Every structure is written in structure tokens, then in C-alpha cells.
């Protein structure tokens, strides 16, 4: 496999995992930080913005999942996919724990 397949696998995990909190908060009718808030990533965006942002993340994540051959049966792309999920999950848990305290 080419090197870019591994990078695509990692970022597929990041994009797909990042879609989850934005989608859940958006369909629940809750405001949640997004890159479109003021200030970006710290302010709260509307539920609709979060649902649209989640859809964009799902679309990009799906395309990277396919391009990264995550489901090809090879272990390394699958491991990198889950590593991407873990990385964004830890980053998000640290970043969003303060969303209501500021």
C-alpha cells in the first residue's frame, strides 16, 4: 500500500469521530462549539450549524475511509483508523470540558 493510504485511514477516524458530538448535540437541539462560532471552537454554534458540520465531517470521513482502504482486511489501516478516533476523542475531551465554564 502507498503511504497516503495510511494517512487517509488515520484522518478517516478523526473526521468520523468528530462528527459524533456535533451530530448528537445538533439533533438534540443543543448549542455546541464549532469552527463557525465566535470565537472559533470556543463559542457556541446553533444546532443546525452543528448538524451541517457533522454531515460535512461524515462525508469527508467516509471518502477517506474508502480511499484509506480501512475495510480492506489489512491491519495497519484499521489500526490507524482507530488511532485517529482515539486522538480526536482525547483532544475533544480536553478542549470541550471547559465549554460552559467560560
Q: What is the pLDDT, as a whole number, of residue 102? A: 52
* Sign of the Cα pseudo-torsion (36, 38, 42, 46, in order): negative
Residue 5 has pLDDT above 70, yes or no: yes
Q: What is the CA radius of gyration of the chain?
A: 15
Please compute the mean of the pLDDT values over residues 88-102 and round it to a whole number. 80
Q: What is the pLDDT, as a whole number, of residue 66? A: 96
- Decide if 88 contacts 14 (C-beta within 8 A): yes
pLDDT tens-place string over residues 30-73: 999 999 999 887 889 999 999 999 999 999 999 999 999 999 88
Q: Which helix (H) or strand (E) holds 45?
A: strand 44-45
Q: What is the pLDDT, as a whole number, of residue 61? A: 98
Task: Judge if pTM exceeds 0.85.
Answer: yes
pLDDT tens-place string over residues 10-21: 999 999 999 999
Q: Which helix (H) or strand (E) holds 41?
A: none
Residue appearing with cell numbers 468520523: 16
Confidence of residue 96 (pLDDT cuts 50, 70, 90): confident
Amino acid at each position: 500500500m502507498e503511504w497516503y493510504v495510511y494517512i487517509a485511514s488515520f484522518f478517516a477516524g478523526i473526521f468520523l469521530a468528530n462528527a459524533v458530538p456535533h451530530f448528537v448535540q445538533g439533533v438534540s437541539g443543543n448549542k455546541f462549539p464549532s469552527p463557525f462560532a465566535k470565537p472559533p471552537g470556543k463559542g457556541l454554534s446553533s444546532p443546525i450549524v452543528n448538524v451541517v458540520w457533522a454531515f460535512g465531517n461524515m462525508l469527508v470521513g467516509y471518502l477517506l475511509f474508502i480511499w484509506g482502504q480501512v475495510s480492506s482486511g489489512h491491519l495497519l489501516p484499521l489500526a490507524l483508523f482507530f488511532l485517529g478516533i482515539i486522538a480526536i476523542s482525547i483532544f475533544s475531551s480536553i478542549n470541550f470540558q471547559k465549554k460552559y465554564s467560560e
